[in-house]
Amino acid sequence: MIKVILICRYKHVTNDGCDPREAGFYNILLEEEALRIKPCTDEKLLSSAHHSTLSFIDRKSGTYTIGEEIRVIVTLFNGYGKRTNSGGDHLRVTIENKQLKASAPCVVTDNENDTHYVTCEAFWSGTSSIIVTLAYTREEIASHYRMRTQVSTTQDILYILLKCVDF
């Protein structure tokens, strides 16, 4: 038997951890969709790891047998404690067993409404925790797309101007 504890120990990666050079960063949200997102002027309107919740989907107790599928729903709330009903935030979820010093990734599906469906397998006996990381908010992803497109546009203009000038 395995006892799974849902720990709402969210870690929100700040802008310092938001690295567009990371493999797959631009596959999180489609560019055309990201560029339609308006820049956010109030940080409390962003999804907040602190205000978000985790809950089991199929049972109230967290007791599983090894090999069973664990299904969890993550509901994201903003800094004001309200759901924003939009998708695009990027979560990373793992199941961990501290006694065994073991962890495994979970499968996360964005439901496009500030809920994420999470599945993972009960691998070990003992007590395990499901840890959720709010890696990037959709606004952070959009801002990186904006920076990339604006910087490359500026570089293109400078290149054309310099090419047209005779020295």
All domains of the chain, ordered by start, with CATH? 2-164 (2.60.40.10)
What is the token pair recorded at 136?
């990037």
- pTM over the 0.75 mark: no
pLDDT confidence tier of residue 63, bands split at 50, 70 and 90: confident
What is the token pair recorded at 70?
């664990």
pLDDT confidence tier of residue 10, bands split at 50, 70 and 90: very low
135-167 residue pLDDT tens = 888 888 777 777 777 666 666 666 666 666 554
Give ∠ CA 31-90-154 in degrees, rounded to 5.
35
Residue that wins the pLDDT comparison between 41 and 108: 108
Q: Residues for the chain: how many in total? A: 167
**pLDDT at position 96 over 60:** yes
**pLDDT at position 17 over 60:** no
Say what the pLDDT of residue 121 is: 92
Closest CA to 37 of 152, 148, 150, 140: 140
Closest CA to 123 of 2, 22, 37: 2
pLDDT confidence tier of residue 19, bands split at 50, 70 and 90: low
Three-class secondary structure of residue 133 per DSSP:
strand
Which amino acid does the sequence have at 101? K
Instruction: Tell me the average pLDDT of the chain.
Output: 76
Quick count: other Cβ atoms within 10 Å of Cβ 11? 13
Say what the pLDDT of residue 14 is: 45
Average pLDDT over residues 66-94: 88
pLDDT confidence tier of residue 119, bands split at 50, 70 and 90: very high
